[in-house]
Structure formats: C-alpha cells, structure tokens
C-alpha cells in the first residue's frame, strides 16, 4: 500500500488534519503515520470507513516512553579570535521534551490488506498525558489501551472502562516507563533469584535493625 497516497487522502477528507509520515529505516520498512490528538478519532473513523481502505480491525496497541533527552549538534559560527573574525565550530545543545506515544496496528479483514501503523503522542510525561481513546472506533483496542494506561500512564479520554489491567488498583507507578525503579520492599516471599533475595534481605536488615546475613539464616 502506498502510505503517501493514504496520507494525502486522509488530509483531503479530514478538515484541518496534517499527518506526519514516520519513516522506518529497518529492513521491514514498515513506515507509519502520526496524527495529532485533536484529529485522531476522525482519522481513525476515516481509516475504518473509507470505501477503499476499510481498516476494520485493530490487532495491536502498544506504548513507547520517550524521556527528555539532550541533542548535540556541531555548527559553524563566525567569532572574533585574537581580534580576527574567523569561522569556528561549536557544539550546540538542545533539549527535547519527553512524551509518551501510542501505536496502533491496523488491518482490513474486508479488503485483506495491511498493516498500517497509526501513532499519536502526548504533550509530555507528566500532566499532559491525555489522548483520545480509539476504542469507540475499534472495540479490540479496549483491553490494550487499558494495558498502556496501566504500564505507561497514558490517560485515554472516552475509554469505556479505563482502569488498571495488570497491576493492582493501589499501585501508583507505571512499570514500563524507562525511569521506573523497582521497589526493594517485597510484600511476598522472595524468590530464589539471587538479586531479588539479596535486596529483600537488605530491606529487612534496614527495617528490623538486624545484620544483613541473619535474614537468610532463618
């Protein structure tokens, strides 16, 4: 399928919509389209309902965490060096704000074509983590959006039943974020895995005031 043609068709039929074609340099060459949150539902409905597209099945929804990062770029500038204007090379650093991204993989059962990959990003990783739910368009996205909410923290506005799926309700963090730190306070009996056992023993020693070796000798 010609993704450029699909991009142009959507932009011509969804007022105000501008899509970004995200190139995939891997051997698969599975490029994707990124939409803004404000047009995401309209884009999804068009992909599902357009006579030549009919992407009627969402097979997979996943999340990506993009922490803020610093980029370094070498640029040439003119400066006075010992009283003489010269062209010198400087390193210019810029900071890219972090965000969370949701990726939908779509197929057409009716037309027997696909996949096409649709993306959308949050404003940031803190307060601006709201995106529109696409479950009203593809019912198969319901549990998968819940999983992204649970593990990454994306809040899907309009989801019919947005609650944790894998973690318990009182859990306050999102384990698939890149800055997530495993707790050292295990409420369950530690496994035989050396690292888990060592951290559990260390936590007991700190809370009970015992020697680190005593916990393993009980």
Domain identity same for 158 and 213: no
Does residue 107 sit in the same domain as residue 203? no
Give residue 207's pLDDT. 73
pLDDT at 183: 74
> What is residue 178's predicted lDDT score, i.e. its pLDDT?
94
Domain that holds residue 208: 182-218
**pLDDT (mean) for 191-208:** 74
- Share the mean pLDDT of the chain: 88
* 145 and 58 in a common domain: yes
What is the rounded distance in angstroms from the CA atom of residue 106 to the CA atom of residue 118?
8
Chain center to CA of 182: 20
* Same domain membership, residue 203 and residue 123: no
pTM of the prediction? 0.77
Average pLDDT rounded to a whole number, residues 184-202: 66
In this model, does residue 217 exceed pLDDT 50? Answer: no
- Domain of 47, CATH number, reads 3.30.460.80
Confidence at 97, pLDDT banded by 50, 70, 90: confident
Do 13 and 59 reside in the same domain of the chain?
A: yes
């Amino acid at each position: 399928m010609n993704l450029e043609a699909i991009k142009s068709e959507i932009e011509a039929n969804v007022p105000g919509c501008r899509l970004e074609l995200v190139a995939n340099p891997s051997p698969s060459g599975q490029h994707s389209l990124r939409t803004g949150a404000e047009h995401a539902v309209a884009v999804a409905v068009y992909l599902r309902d357009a006579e030549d597209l009919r992407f009627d099945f969402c097979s997979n929804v996943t999340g990506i965490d993009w922490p803020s990062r610093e980029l370094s770029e070498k640029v040439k500038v003119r400066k006075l060096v010992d009283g003489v204007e010269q062209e010198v090379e400087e390193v210019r650093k810029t900071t890219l704000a972090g965000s969370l991204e949701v990726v939908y993989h779509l197929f057409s059962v009716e037309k027997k074509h696909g996949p096409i990959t649709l993306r959308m990003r949050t404003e940031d990783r803190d307060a601006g983590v709201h995106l529109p739910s696409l479950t009203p368009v593809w019912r198969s996205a319901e549990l998968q959006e819940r999983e992204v909410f649970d593990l990454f923290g994306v809040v899907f506005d309009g989801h019919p039943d947005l609650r944790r799926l894998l973690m318990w309700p009182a859990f306050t963090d999102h384990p698939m974020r890149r800055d997530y730190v495993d707790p050292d306070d295990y409420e369950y009996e530690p496994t035989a895995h050396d690292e888990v056992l060592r951290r559990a023993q260390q936590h007991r020693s700190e809370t009970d005031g015992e020697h680190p070796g005593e916990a393993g000798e009980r």
